[in-house]
Amino acid sequence: MAAGTAIAVLGGQALAGGAGRPAVTIASGSFAGYSWSVEVQGGNDQRCYEVSLTGKSSAGVRGVCTIDALRPPLWSRLVAVGQENATVELAVTRLRVRSMRLRIGHTESRHGARWVHLRNRRLTPGQADQADVRRDFRYAVLRSRGTFCVQKAILFNREHDRIAKLHTPCEFPR
C-alpha cells in the first residue's frame, strides 16, 4: 500500500455504507467455475471498491474505501478476494501507468513464478458519473486459479517506457 493513502477495509459489507450513488460494475467475468466482479462507488468524499468471487457452493466479497481527494498511488494492490481454487485482485494506478508486467507467484505451483502483462483500463465518463468518482486512476484485475501473490511489478507509460520497478512482499504464504 502506498504511503499517505488512507484505507478502510470492508469485509462482506455493502460498499461505502450506502454513500452517494449506487455502485457501478466496472469489470466482471468468469473462470474455473467462478464468477467475479469489481464495483466502484463514490460519495461522502471517498471512493470505494468491491471485489466479489462466487463459486457453486461459496462466495466471497472484500471491499476497501479511500479518501477521494488523495492522489492515487503510482501502483497499489487495493483489494483481493480468494477461495480455495480461485483468486481475484484489483490493482489501481495513476493515469500515466498504461500497462504493467507482474511477476506472479502461486502458492501451490510446482512451476515457480511467472510474468504476466496487463493493460490498465480507465473508467468511461458515464461510469465515473454514475458512480460519483473522478477519472483520475486506472485499474487492472488479476484473476487466477488457486492463490497467488505479486512479487514484482514493472510499470510502463503509453510510450512503453519503464516508469518504475517495484518489489513487493507476497501476501499469501508460499
- The model's pLDDT over 5-46, given as tens digits with 9 standing for 90+, comes to 333 334 444 454 445 578 999 999 998 888 999 999 998 888
What's the whole-model pTM score? 0.81
In this predicted model, what pLDDT tens digit does every residue of 141-152 receive, in sequence order? 998 887 888 889
Q: Flag whether 67 is in a domain.
A: yes
Judged by DSSP in three states, 131 sits in helix
The whole-number pLDDT of residue 25 equals 96
Confidence of residue 3 (pLDDT cuts 50, 70, 90): very low
pLDDT in tens, 159-172: 999 999 998 877 65
Total count of domains within the chain:
1
pLDDT more than 70, % of the chain: 83
Identify whether 44 is part of a domain: yes
Position 172 in a domain: no
Q: Could you tell me if residue 2 is inside a domain?
A: no
In-domain check, residue 1: no
pLDDT class for 107, splitting at 50, 70, 90?
Answer: low
For residue 120, what pLDDT is reported? 95
Question: Where does the chain show beta strands of DSSP type E?
Answer: 7-11, 24-31, 34-43, 46-54, 59-67, 75-83, 86-93, 99-106, 114-119, 138-145, 148-156, 162-167
Q: Assess contact for 102 and 152: CB atoms under 8 A.
A: yes
Average pLDDT of the residues of the chain: 82
Name the residue range of residue 111's domain: 7-167
